[in-house]
Structure 1
């Protein structure tokens, strides 16, 4: 696959590029060091996957992602940053980027890129952990917060709730199937039912919303 890497530190671009090319799964088309250069680079030569940092001089990575997605809604953008800030994560998910990883977790880069290429959305474990303990954007102060669960989850069955908890913990279908003694096909169908019932577009967004509702 063809990738592009955007980070304000050239050493990071080189390091990530070396990891991807050494494994034989990707070729680095180009790299850039700020958001404006990322937008220009994407318009000039579209990669299969764009890895982009958040905080950069001038235009930041999320603004660059927004501009790219305005012109190409199918762009596969994977945020790779040192900041596990819940606001950044939610902004990235609201933009429909394909994932959010913490840069220090280098071992996860290759499988994450492969998963994104396969059409999945990925979140690192630290990202999910931060979302599970942080209030959702716009949530009132605790003494004003409504009691109870998000009403979108009210009609889930007990088995669907079991699956929902494991999805929110970041387990994949195989792991969920093993833990609940189900087939992977059954888990896949149940997750599709859960997303349809809750009107949430994908499992990553579901995990974020579930964790926000059950923190």
Structure 2
């Protein structure tokens, strides 16, 4: 797994590099100190995952994420910050960042990097629990433009509420095979990769 680390504190960037490269499957290609460098380094290396701070001078992590994702829509960006700021969390979700973690939770960084590398969307437990409240009050999203029918929307809601395929099958009186088929169609229609992204998508557009 090839990654780039961008943090305006060179000591933090260096410490993260040292900690992560202890693992044989991790290679830190480069480190940077601001969003502008993040954009340049991403273009040069196209890493598997970009691990980036949010609050930086010249260009912050959110602005850099917006710039990178506009050119590389499949970029895996994991945002790392000491600030559990509601506005940042919402902006990160809407930009399409694959994760948002607090720096003090060092133990979760490597598992999060691996999860993002495998196509999952990762938000710290503290943050996930707040997503519904943060995104309340938005205009109702039109799932019709994605050709999502009523039964599929019911399934999306259940997935967002943490139901397993077996639990969804029991709730909707379907077989697990039928649930899996519905899930495959939902992922295809919404152009998502897994059920975690379905849950995040739901809360983004609630």
Q: Name the TM-score class by shorter chain.
A: 0.7 to 0.9
Kept in 2: contact 1:76–1:98 (CA 8 A): yes
1:191 partnered with 2:183: yes
SS at match of 1:68: helix
1:1-215 map, 5 Å: 1-136=1-136, 139=138, 152=143, 155-156=150-151, 160=155, 161-166=157-162, 176=164, 188-195=180-187, 199=190, 201=192, 203-204=195-196, 206-208=198-200, 210-211=202-203
Q: Give, in whole Å, the separation in 2 of the partners of 1:125 and 1:61.
A: 21
Kept in 1: contact 2:6–2:13 (CA 8 A): yes
TM-score of the superposed pair, with normalisation by structure 1: 0.72
Taking a change above 3 Å as real, the CA distance of residues 18 and 119 of structure 1, as seen in their structure-2 partners, is same
**Residues 163-184 of structure 1: CA deviation (Å, up to 9, x unaligned):** 33106xxxxxxxx358779999
Taking a change above 3 Å as real, the CA distance of residues 76 and 196 of structure 1, as seen in their structure-2 partners, is closer
Gaps of at least 5 residues in structure 1 are 141-148, 168-175
Please provide the CA RMSD for this pair.
3.5
Kept in 2: contact 1:5–1:32 (CA 8 A): yes
Q: Give the length in aligned residue pairs.
A: 196
Gaps of at least 5 residues in structure 2 are none
Taking a change above 3 Å as real, the CA distance of residues 184 and 85 of structure 1, as seen in their structure-2 partners, is farther
